[in-house]
Structure 1
Amino acid sequence: MASSQPQTVPCAYKTGRTLGQGTYAVVKEAVHIKTGQYYACKVISRKLMEGREHMVRNEIAALKRVSQGHRSIVTLVDYFETMNNLYLVTDLCVGGELFDRICERGSYYEKDAAHLVRTITDAVVYLHDQGIVHRDLKPENLLFRDKTEESDLLIADFGLSRVVDDEKITVLSTTCGTPGYMAPEIFKKTGHGKPVDMWAIGVITYFLLCGYTPFDRHTTMEEMQAIINADYRFEPSMYWQDVSDNAKDFINQLLTIDPGTRLTAKQALQHPWLQSAAPNAKASEGQAEQKDLLPDIKSAFNAKRTFRKAVNGIRLINRLRTNEHVPNKDEIEKLRQTIKEAEQESDNLDQVLPAQA
């Protein structure tokens, strides 16, 4: 009779520094003892994942199906189990997250954004052709393999991905993803599939062109309502006046409430905006006159980040009052400093977070 216990595998890796940590897992740098090759090792606690093991199985199934099939998708190198943990060994991406790399550049133009989005979309075409929905596309899950200028950009973190072997839209129903990048049909729980990845690409594109997301609001509930209604604008004009109509049209065709009218990944690749970023594409006259978007993007991103600090400070004050706790001098000074920073970094934060009726 075969044992129901998982096979104990002799450890072939030595783990090092922690790269990231989540609710159920920790990601560590790992080196293969025999080859000396470095990887990322996701260590998943069986105890914490009890009752949710199917999530890991889904991730493994998705990664096995697409590993080594596309240069812009992270590869599952190894997988093994012990009594206490599950281990997923993947490519080690040391080049940093997408937006961090953009901010480190000396300049950044619309054509650069188009090239990045084309790379992401091309990888999603492959995923969808293989029957995989990622369901958590966002800048934090787009990583560079190394720090070189020519580094591949990789789609990572398949923890929420699912295998769907048909073209039906209403195949999945669980609420998942990161709120700001989730499609309306996920919130509505009307069933979802591959189109949710295309909505996310629309949000990512918007973000890459201005430094803030289209549905960012004061509260998660307001953000969710804005997403359900596709309530976004290309505002304030100071961040969008130098962005082409083609780029805006590309976003508009992805951020549609009806998933059936949303561009598919293959259709998105044929859109004029991404065609302009295709290999051997001829440069248009407008491309030579493109404005450097980096200063405005950094300004908007920093203002948004500081605005959130101020909002969180106000929420903390309200919580303290509710709990009948009187803030001490240090707490009050810290909150005042946070709000002061918000005022200094942006004279008019409403321009970055426009009120949208």
Structure 2
Amino acid sequence: MSSEKSAQTVPCAYKTGRTLGQGTYAVVKEAVHIKTGKYYACKVISKKLMEGREHMVRNEISALKRVSQGHGSIVTLVDYFETMNNLYLVTDLCVGGELFDRICERGSYYEQDAAHIVQTVVKAVKYLHDQGIVHRDLKPENLLFRDKTEESDLLIADFGLSRVVDDDTLSVLSTTCGTPGYMAPEIFKKSGHGKPVDMWAIGVISYFLLAGYTPFDRDSTAQEMQAIVNGDYAFEPEVYWQGVSPSARDFINKLLTVDPSKRMTASEALEHQWLSTDAAKQEGEQKDLLPGIRSAFNAKMTFRKAVHGIRLINRLRTESSEQVPRHEVEALRKGIAEAEAENVQEVLDVDLPDASGHQDKDKKEEKEGGGAKKEEGDEKMQEGSS
């Protein structure tokens, strides 16, 4: 023991401030470097909560160290250190907001805008893959703008599930991880996965950026998983796809390919017609996609909130020793209706995909009493083993 170096106390170089976000194992806070006064994002990871999953933090640090400052569209790891209770990862502070929020704030949004966004993401992912990094959790929430200016860089963030892989191990990652709606079939099948899972996620993101909803959205996570494994999706309802070009649909089809060996790589995606200069613009008159995207997104969210309220009522009835008074039930229903008054009509009017992923025009009138949509289900499925 006498030969071991004694622990040294190092003064902290940062002061943390407001909370920017919170997850299962960590909280992200705004931090200022005491000497320079520069602001960063600081991910504070609880050692106690992460016990047994320390490899996830090591993977994130390894990935970020390898790619930091190497590409303008990837968040930079500025510093990392630890205390007795926590691990700290200091990265760029992205104050420009999430991708989808910025889109919704625009006055208009066209297919060529979506193509430009996807091109930016694919270029960054190609760089990651060239450096031997698989992100494994690509989704709109992890695409952040550096600042609020119109010319701001779009950055890929959150490398908590990323892995550094060698060429020989590209197909042997086997842990189930990611966000369900964006996970590739091979992850659910546990057949081994690698870089192609990121390209599948880009296919889902592209679909979402053009329509406002994801291709495999179903009544439950189990049904969603089955649809993903089967590659069961369609460009429906047609009302949301009328202004979308054939090349955009072809781009998505070539990414949402169940067989990872036949899926486009990042290099191949960059050569696709849809991402070539002005391809989307050349295929016909441009339609503003923003109204349809807002309508579809709001309709989905409204339906889920309403179903969440009904499930809450049922849970109260089940768990309470006394039946919930009818007037309380009616009050809750009324509150849901009033809070979402403008959007509820969209749920009733728009023929959204059913559990099979297709429109059921014959049953449009039954939707008021139809099946329940799942609650918000974008929580990460964290790694169970390395």
Shared fold, TM over 0.5: yes
1:326 paired with 2:323, answer yes
Count how many residue pairs are aligned between Structure 1 and Structure 2.
Answer: 350
Q: Is the 8 A contact 1:98 1:144 kept in 2?
A: yes
Q: Could you tell me which residue of structure 2 aligns to residue 121 of structure 1?
A: 122
Q: Could you tell me which residue of structure 2 aligns to residue 307 of structure 1?
A: 303
Q: What CA distance in whole angstroms lies between the structure 1 residues aligned with 2:295 and 2:168?
A: 41
Q: Is the 8 A contact 1:304 1:353 kept in 2?
A: no
Per-residue deviation, residues 218-265 of structure 1 (Å, max 9, x unmatched): 111111111111110000010001100000000000001111100001
Q: Is the 8 A contact 1:235 1:354 kept in 2?
A: no
Q: Is the 8 A contact 1:68 1:75 kept in 2?
A: yes
1:293 paired with 2:289, answer yes
- TM-score when normalising by structure 1: 0.93
Q: What CA distance in whole angstroms lies between the structure 2 residues aligned with 1:157 and 1:3?
A: 34
2:306 aligned counterpart, secondary structure: helix
Letter in 1 for 2:199: M
1:270 paired with 2:271, answer yes
- CA RMSD in angstroms comes to 1.8
Relative to structure 1, the CA distance from residue 51 to residue 104 in structure 2 (aligned partners, 3 Å threshold; closer, same or farther) is same
Q: Could you tell me which residue of structure 2 aligns to residue 18 of structure 1?
A: 19
Q: Is the 8 A contact 1:8 1:82 kept in 2?
A: no
Per-residue deviation, residues 131-157 of structure 1 (Å, max 9, x unmatched): 000000000000000000000000000
CA offset at residue 67 of structure 1?
Answer: 0.2
Q: What CA distance in whole angstroms lies between the structure 1 residues aligned with 2:280 and 2:189?
A: 42
Structure 1 unmatched runs, 5+: none
Relative to structure 1, the CA distance from residue 168 to residue 256 in structure 2 (aligned partners, 3 Å threshold; closer, same or farther) is farther
Q: What CA distance in whole angstroms lies between the structure 2 residues aligned with 1:146 and 1:242?
A: 30
Q: Is the 8 A contact 1:169 1:195 kept in 2?
A: no
1:347 paired with 2:348, answer yes
Q: Could you tell me which residue of structure 2 aligns to residue 242 of structure 1?
A: 243
Q: Could you tell me which residue of structure 2 aligns to residue 67 of structure 1?
A: 68
Letter in 2 for 1:353: P
Q: Is the 8 A contact 1:93 1:143 kept in 2?
A: yes
CA offset at residue 291 of structure 1?
Answer: 0.3
CA offset at residue 170 of structure 1?
Answer: 2.2
CA offset at residue 207 of structure 1?
Answer: 0.1
Q: Could you tell me which residue of structure 2 aligns to residue 337 of structure 1?
A: 335
Give the fraction of aligned pairs with identical amino acids, expressed as a percent.
75
Per-residue deviation, residues 166-196 of structure 1 (Å, max 9, x unmatched): 1654221110000000001111111111000
Relative to structure 1, the CA distance from residue 248 to residue 8 in structure 2 (aligned partners, 3 Å threshold; closer, same or farther) is farther
Q: Is the 8 A contact 1:164 1:171 kept in 2?
A: no
Q: Is the 8 A contact 1:9 1:82 kept in 2?
A: no
Q: Is the 8 A contact 2:133 2:164 kept in 1?
A: yes
Q: What CA distance in whole angstroms lies between the structure 1 residues aligned with 2:162 and 2:121?
A: 16
Letter in 2 for 1:147: K
Structure 2 unmatched runs, 5+: 358-386
CA offset at residue 343 of structure 1?
Answer: 3.3
CA offset at residue 70 of structure 1?
Answer: 0.4
- TM-score when normalising by structure 2: 0.87
Letter in 2 for 1:240: W
Q: Structure 2 matches for 1:144-293, cutoff 5 A?
A: 144-166=145-167, 168-276=169-277, 285-286=282-283, 289-293=285-289
Q: Could you tell me which residue of structure 2 aligns to residue 2 of structure 1?
A: 4
2:15 aligned counterpart, secondary structure: strand
Q: What CA distance in whole angstroms lies between the structure 2 residues aligned with 1:33 and 1:273?
A: 46
Q: What CA distance in whole angstroms lies between the structure 2 residues aligned with 1:304 and 1:317?
A: 20
Q: What CA distance in whole angstroms lies between the structure 2 residues aligned with 1:73 and 1:167?
A: 25
Relative to structure 1, the CA distance from residue 4 to residue 307 in structure 2 (aligned partners, 3 Å threshold; closer, same or farther) is farther
Relative to structure 1, the CA distance from residue 284 to residue 307 in structure 2 (aligned partners, 3 Å threshold; closer, same or farther) is closer
Letter in 1 for 2:303: F
Q: Could you tell me which residue of structure 1 aligns to residue 356 of structure 2?
A: 356
CA offset at residue 326 of structure 1?
Answer: 2.0
Q: Is the 8 A contact 2:115 2:280 kept in 1?
A: no
